């Protein structure tokens, strides 16, 4: 059987979800997956980005990270999304990309993808769980198979205990409050394991 093909797709304004995606990439490669780390393009106007030096700095620093395309979704056996919370929902940049997938969905190209999601917010009750569940709602429409971490590893408790996917709180200095690296890596490995089992069973 060929290796699981995993696309780790993130949107990040100041770098948190980029870091989560990088941790996931490292763990997934260790688990034997063929991995693409892909960014969702920035759609906010410069007038908004330039009001926050950290936002501008991150946009400039990651401009060479490959942008996700619909071909990447079709290529992948599994997908990990990492997206910040916006008013208890997904960032508009992510939603804009998801709204372009209708053709793939219509032709059955997104069914049976194994998916998992991560998120971040400025406080612990700022919509972290709701954001992940919003992502999964779209995935159910695809006919995808959600590989939530549940409580399958002790690292999940250390990261705050979110069974839907790893989430992290960012303080006023832009630093992560919870220690989530191990939880992210466990979630990535679990996603690869589930995708591998499914891929083997579908042969």
pLDDT in tens, 122-166: 988 889 999 999 999 999 999 999 999 999 999 999 999 999 999
pLDDT in tens, 101-111: 999 999 999 99
Q: Determine the pLDDT at residue 202.
A: 64
Task: Kindly report the pTM of this predicted structure.
Answer: 0.96
Distance CA 173, CA 88 (A): 21
- The mean pLDDT value for 46-74 works out to 96
Count Cβ atoms within 10 A of the Cβ of residue 90 and give its class: 0-12 exposed, 13-18 middle, 19 or more buried: buried
Superfamily of domain 5-202 in CATH is Flavodoxin domain (3.40.50.360)
Distance CA 45, CA 33 (A): 36
Q: For the CA atoms of the chain, what is the radius of gyration?
A: 16
67, 97 in Cβ contact below 8 A? no
* Block residue for tokens 């797709």: 9
Distance CA 128, CA 121 (A): 6
Q: Tell me the two tokens of residue 87.
A: 């008013």
**Who contacts 176 (Cβ-Cβ below 8 Å, separation ≥6)?**
16, 19, 168, 169, 170
Q: Determine the pLDDT at residue 7.
A: 98
Distance CA 35, CA 38 (A): 10
Distance CA 116, CA 60 (A): 27
* Block residue for tokens 């056996």: 77
Residue among 128, 181, 179 at smallest CA distance from 158: 179
The model's confidence at residue 33, banded by pLDDT at 50, 70 and 90, is very high
The model's confidence at residue 1, banded by pLDDT at 50, 70 and 90, is low
Using the predicted structure, report yes or no on whether residue 203 has a pLDDT greater than 60: no
Q: Tell me the two tokens of residue 19.
A: 């870091």
Domain boundaries, the chain: 5-202
Q: Determine the pLDDT at residue 108.
A: 96
């Amino acid at each position: 059987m060929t290796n699981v093909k995993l696309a780790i797709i993130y949107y990040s304004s100041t770098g948190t979800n980029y870091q989560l995606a990088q941790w996931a990439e490292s763990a997934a490669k260790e688990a034997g997956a063929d991995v693409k780390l892909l960014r969702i393009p920035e759609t906010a106007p410069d007038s908004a980005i330039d009001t926050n030096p950290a936002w501008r700095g991150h946009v400039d620093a990651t401009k060479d990270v490959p942008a996700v395309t619909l071909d990447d979704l079709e290529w992948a056996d599994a997908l990990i999304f990492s997206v910040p919370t916006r008013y208890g929902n997904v960032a508009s940049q992510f939603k804009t990309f998801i709204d372009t997938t209708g053709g793939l969905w219509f032709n059955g190209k997104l069914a049976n993808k194994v998916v998992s999601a991560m998120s971040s917010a400025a406080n612990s009750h700022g919509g972290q769980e709701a954001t992940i569940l919003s992502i999964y709602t779209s995935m159910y429409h695809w006919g995808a198979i959600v590989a939530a971490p549940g409580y399958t590893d002790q690292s999940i408790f250390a990261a705050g205990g979110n069974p839907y996917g790893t989430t992290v709180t960012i303080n006023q200095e832009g630093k992560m409050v919870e220690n989530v690296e191990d939880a992210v890596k466990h979630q990535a490995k679990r996603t690869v394991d589930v995708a591998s089992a499914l891929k083997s069973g579908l042969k």
